[in-house]
Amino acid sequence: MRLLLFGPGYTGTRIAAAFATDGAAVTTIGRNEDASALIGAATHILSTVPPGEAGDPILNLYGPALAEASAWKGYLSSTGVYGDCGGAWVDESAPVQGRRSPRNAADAAWNAIGACVFRLPGIYGPGRSILDRIAAGAAHRIDLPGQVFSRIHVEDIVSAVQLAARAGSHATFNLGDDAPAPQNALVELGCALLGRPLPPLQGLQEAALSPAARAFYAENRRIANVKAKRLLGWRPRYPDYRAGLRALIATTSPAITSTPPNTASTDQR
């Protein structure tokens, strides 16, 4: 297996490491690196690069070559393509809509060239979870009854991509854990695990949220993962936020578990 991976960020770096551990020859392409000569030699190609206002940067550069490549192709998309669903369960047959038009266009374009598309909700893992926010004094609780979110541990994304690549799948898959939950539930468990006081419960207008955080709270849906389980045999190692956060607390830096939160922080993302 020769994997060409675009965008070795938080998730991509872990995917690359897992493939390399399994014996694959892995080449990662970052910003300002040219992959023109590498596409034809790859047996597997994965993009983790999000689109911008100008569209998908990888397809903009290499679209024709990727369309012609015989390699298995994969793309990390977002469940944001479904928009606000009023808290309903959403599977892959749901219409693509909502606020993220560049993401929607990129999702469709990768589908059109036969890529396996992974639609992801909020990603968490080591160094990127509510535990880190609580430790930084940046967590908040918003009073929005009925608001739920899906999420996925980064290791569960890695395992799903590996399964799909090995199977040569060209389907679209929702990836998320088995227990969508209110964000406040994560804050409450995280505070309990760290022995920190709960942040105050605030209304959406009262909280000093960034535009990105406000957009986060503007959408309400539960992501169904049955298709990935049925077709790939995938099972999340961390089936809910409780399992994920308890595993993270065991490996969390002592600085996070012992340092009082910075109460002067104004980061309310």
* Predicted model pTM: 0.92
Tell which wins on pLDDT, 205 or 113: 113
Query: d(Cα 164, Cα 162) in Å, to the nearest integer?
Result: 6
Beta bridge partners of 26: 3
Asked if residues 14 and 155 have their Cβ atoms less than 8 Å apart, the reply is: yes
Query: d(Cα 187, Cα 204) in Å, to the nearest integer?
Result: 16
* Contacts of residue 258, Cβ cutoff 8 Å, sequence gap at least 6: none
Does the pLDDT value for residue 110 go beyond 90? yes
Domains in the chain (CATH in brackets) are: 2-258 (3.40.50.720)
pLDDT tens across 172-208, in order?
999 999 999 999 999 999 999 999 999 999 998 888 8
Query: d(Cα 198, Cα 225) in Å, to the nearest integer?
Result: 31
First to last CA, the chain: 40
From 70-74, 95-99, 204-208, 223-227, the region with the lowest mean pLDDT: 95-99
Place of tokens 């597997």: 44
SS3 146: coil
